[in-house]
């Protein structure tokens, strides 16, 4: 099965954002007198759009207040939190090997494009990707993929690769193939429920699949 573009999610797929996310979330919560949460409580929310995550964490339907907490989170994250990301093991080797085979790659993330670009540049991997897609305010990933298709940045023969059900659902809603990775924040049960074409345990397995090894 040949795909003309591999579209990677960022958080939980290429890089581990845990430290920056946990610290920035607790900074935001403490700023509004919410009780700080444990690392485990916060990391299970990594993946969906930030507004949705914070709404769930604080248990509020007040859109104005949710936006206040989001803004406080981003205050710290945009200043220092994004620098606390780290690449998962073997990701650099994976990207290099795929690029050597002239495999076209892009990124579709729930992060703003500007901050996603900074993270990729921090790890000196930006050059491997032909495009980086981030949302406008409150845009869901399915809409991002729809826009990429409409602008002919990707074709229907692309595949979305991610660690959460939200990535796979977005791909399915746009008629794209989907691949799940097990080294991120989604568990196997969550991912298998979306019937991905591929399920990868580690980056070398993914590399072997797409270079035809």
pLDDT tens for 98-151 read 999 999 999 999 999 999 999 999 999 999 999 999 988 778 899 999 999 999
Compute the chain's Rg from CA coordinates.
Answer: 17
pLDDT digits (tens, 9 = 90+) for 26-84: 999 999 999 999 999 999 888 788 888 999 999 998 999 999 999 999 999 999 999 99
- Distinct helix (H) and strand (E) counts, the chain: 10, 8
Structure token pair of residue 8:
């990677």
| Per-residue model confidence as pLDDT tens digits over 158-177 | 999 999 999 999 999 999 99
Other CB atoms within 10 A of residue 15 CB = 24
200 C-beta neighbours (distance < 10 Å), count: 20
Task: Say if strands 86-87 and 15-16 run parallel, antiparallel, or are unpaired.
Answer: antiparallel
Domains in the chain (CATH in brackets) are 5-16+86-211 (3.40.50.1000), 18-84 (1.10.150.240)
User: Which of 178, 132, 134, 128 lies closest to 158 in space, CA to CA?
Assistant: 178
This prediction's pTM? 0.91
Q: What is the band of 1 on the pLDDT scale with cuts at 50, 70, 90?
A: low
Residues 183-208 pLDDT 10s: 999 999 999 999 999 999 999 999 99
């Amino acid at each position: 099965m040949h795909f003309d573009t591999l579209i990677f999610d960022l958080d939980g797929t290429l890089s581990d954002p845990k430290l920056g996310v946990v610290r920035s979330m607790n900074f935001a919560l403490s700023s509004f007198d919410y009780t700080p949460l444990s690392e485990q409580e916060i990391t299970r929310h990594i993946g969906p759009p930030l507004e949705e995550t914070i709404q769930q964490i604080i248990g509020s339907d007040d859109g104005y207040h949710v936006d206040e907490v989001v803004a406080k989170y981003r205050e710290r994250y945009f200043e220092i939190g994004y620098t606390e990301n780290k690449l998962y093991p073997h990701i650099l080797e994976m990207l290099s090997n795929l690029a050597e085979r002239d495999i076209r790659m892009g990124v579709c993330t729930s992060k703003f494009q500007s901050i996603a670009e900074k993270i990729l540049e921090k790890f000196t991997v930006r050059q491997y990707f032909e495009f980086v897609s981030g949302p406008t305010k409150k845009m869901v990933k399915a809409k991002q993929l729809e826009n990429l298709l409409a602008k002919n940045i990707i074709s229907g023969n692309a595949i979305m690769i991610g660690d959460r059900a939200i990535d796979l659902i977005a791909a399915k809603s746009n008629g794209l193939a989907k691949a799940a990775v097990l080294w991120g924040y989604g568990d196997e049960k969550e991912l298998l429920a979306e019937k991905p074409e591929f399920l990868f345990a580690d980056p070398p397995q993914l590399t072997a699949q797409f270079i035809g090894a």
